Structure formats: C-alpha cells, structure tokens
C-alpha cells in the first residue's frame, strides 16, 4: 500500500468521523427544536371548517403561539410565564369539553365572571352590546338550532354543577322560569368561545365554556392558504389559482 493510499484512507476515516459527529449534532438539534421547543413555542394548524369565516377560511394554515398564555409544567397545573391571560377578542386553539380528540379554534367572547347573552344577532357581555359587525357574520340558514342564548343548544353536554342547573332546562321551560331572561355567568377558570360565523358554529353555546387548562395557544398568523375546491390533479394551472396568495402572511387580530 502506497503512502498516498494510506493518506487517503486516513482522510476518508476522518471525513466519516466528522460527518457522523455533525449528523449527531444535527439530530440532537432537531430533537431539541421540534421535540422540546416546538410544543412550547409555535404550532401549525389547518382550518377544516367555516365556523370562523370570514376571519379564517377553510384551507387556511395558521400559526399558534403556545407560550402566550404561559407554559404548564409537565405533570402539574402550574403555569409559568403567563404574562398574557386569555382575554375577550382572542382567537385561540383549544380542546373542547365534549370532544377530547380534536382541536377547535374560536374567539373568546367572555371570561370568568362575565355575564353573557344574545338577543337576535346581538351579543351582550355584562349587559352591554358588543360591536362585532366588522368580524362576526350571520346567515339566514343555519344547521344549528337558532334562537337567543341562553339556554344552551345541547344541554346534555353541560357539567352537572350548580352553575348550569337553570341552563339544562328546555328553551320553553327556561322562558317560563325566567320571562325576563337570565344571562349566563362564566364560571371561574373558564372562557366562553364563539365562532365568528355565528350561525354556523358549534361552540360554547352548545357544549359550555372552555377550561383554561385546555387552551393550547393564541392564533396569530395565516402562513399558507389553499382553496379546497376539488381540482383534477393534471390541471396544474387550477391548482396554482387555488392558492390564496393574498392571505399568506395575514395577521390574525384579537378584537377587544
């Protein structure tokens, strides 16, 4: 074996060692970023329904800030860095009380201690009408039972606690018992969620308030948007047309 062969063999061995070490460092970095940091910082979600139209559209892909409401220490209910409490107007992602396998996205319209009711298309919080006409919409047809709130649309989903006793009555029973109405008071540790597409949204009017511990984060930006209308795969030009370029980078604003 010549000296050149020996030198080449050493170089190849050195190169393999360096490549392997860098690969290990890269893998560890990816694990840290996507396995440790990601669950606490930002997560991407896809919008599957029209319950938040026209704020969010089917096919929007959004980014959610997961630390904005604080970070829960694993295995405890202790939160740190919670410098921003869930507030009225925030668009947020959460696990709903009636379906623990899915993530929902809605808007917070009331927080603990607030009283809430609707009369027709008008939302009242603490007795005052909310000016939401620039982001909330109403439609003539609704696949949900329409009517003023309270009572709840689906009382079978409500917790069996004193806070909800009066709201498990049927609509007619509720009106007989409270002819002047009775606003619902949001229990401690919860928020009240409603979709911006008010008549096409399964939300807290159906299954009750959202526990603060079930909140995953606040939505802040649309990073990609694609119209989900069926298109033949070979019609490439239509696929390009389906990209909503005007929505990419759109900020998702809270509405105080």
Instruction: Identify the CATH homologous superfamily for domain 42-251.
Output: Umud Fragment, subunit A (2.10.109.10)
Distance CA 205, CA 123 (A): 12
- The per-residue pLDDT for 11 is 47
> How many CB atoms are located within 10 Å of the residue 63 CB?
17
Integer CA distances (angstroms), 56 to 4, 28, 61, 137, 146, in order: 65, 36, 9, 12, 22
- The per-residue pLDDT for 79 is 72
Average pLDDT, the chain: 84
Active site residue 238: no
Distance CA 107, CA 87 (A): 10
Residue 129 burial (C-beta neighbours within 10 Å; 0-12, 13-18, 19+): exposed
Active site residue 182: no
Alpha-carbon Rg for the chain, nearest whole angstrom, is 25
3-state secondary structure string, the chain?
A: CCHHHHHHHHHHHHHHHHHHHHHHHHHHHHHHHHHHHHHHCEEEEECCCCCCCCCCCCCEEEEEECCCCCEECCCCCCEECCCCCCCCCCEEEECCCCCCCCCEEEEEEEECCCEEEEECCEEEECCEECCCCCCCECCCCCCCCCCCCCCCCCHHHCCCCHHHHHHHCCHHHHHHHCCCCCCEECCCCEEEEECCEHHHCCCHHHHCCEEHHHEEEEEEEEEEEECCCCCCCCCHHHHHHCECHHHCCEECCCCC
Instruction: Give the total residue count for the chain.
Output: 256
Q: With pLDDT > 90 as the criterion, what percentage of the chain qualifies? A: 57
Structure tokens at 197: 């597409």
Residue in 13, 77, 85, 106 annotated catalytic:
106
CB 194 within 8 A of CB 109: yes
Integer CA distances (angstroms), 252 to 41, 63, 76, 218, in order: 17, 9, 31, 9
- The per-residue pLDDT for 156 is 86
> What are 203-256's pLDDT values in tens digits?
999 999 999 999 999 999 999 999 866 656 556 556 677 889 999 999 999 997
Structure tokens at 68: 């904005």
Largest CA distance in the chain: 102
> What are 14-71's pLDDT values in tens digits?
455 544 554 555 554 444 445 555 556 889 999 999 999 999 999 999 999 988 888 7
Distance CA 116, CA 137 (A): 18
Residue in 10, 13, 49, 51 annotated catalytic:
51
């Amino acid at each position: 074996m010549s000296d050149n062969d020996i030198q080449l063999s050493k170089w190849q061995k050195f190169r393999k060692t360096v490549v392997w070490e860098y690969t290990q460092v890269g893998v560890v970095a990816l694990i840290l970023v996507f396995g440790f940091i990601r669950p606490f910082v930002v997560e991407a979600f896809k919008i599957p329904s029209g319950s938040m139209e026209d704020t969010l559209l089917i096919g929007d892909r959004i980014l959610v800030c997961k630390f904005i409401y604080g970070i829960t220490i694993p295995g405890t209910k202790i939160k740190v860095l919670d410098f921003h409490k869930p507030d009225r107007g925030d668009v947020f992602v959460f696990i709903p009380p009636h379906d623990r396998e899915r993530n929902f996205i809605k808007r917070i319209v009331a927080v603990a201690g607030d009283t809430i009711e609707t009369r027709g298309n008008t939302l009242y919080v603490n007795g005052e009408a909310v000016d939401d006409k620039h982001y909330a919409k109403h439609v003539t047809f609704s696949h949900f039972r329409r009517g003023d709130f309270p009572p709840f649309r689906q009382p079978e989903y409500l917790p069996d606690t004193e806070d909800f006793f009066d709201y498990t009555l049927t609509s007619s029973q509720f009106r007989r018992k409270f002819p002047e109405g009775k606003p619902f008071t949001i229990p401690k540790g919860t928020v009240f969620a409603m979709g911006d597409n008010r008549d096409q949204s399964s939300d807290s009017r159906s299954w009750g308030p959202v526990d603060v511990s079930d909140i995953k984060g606040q939505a802040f930006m649309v990073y990609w948007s694609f119209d989900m209308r069926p298109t033949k795969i070979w019609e490439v030009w239509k696929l390009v047309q389906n990209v909503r370029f005007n929505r990419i980078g759109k900020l998702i604003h809270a509405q105080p």
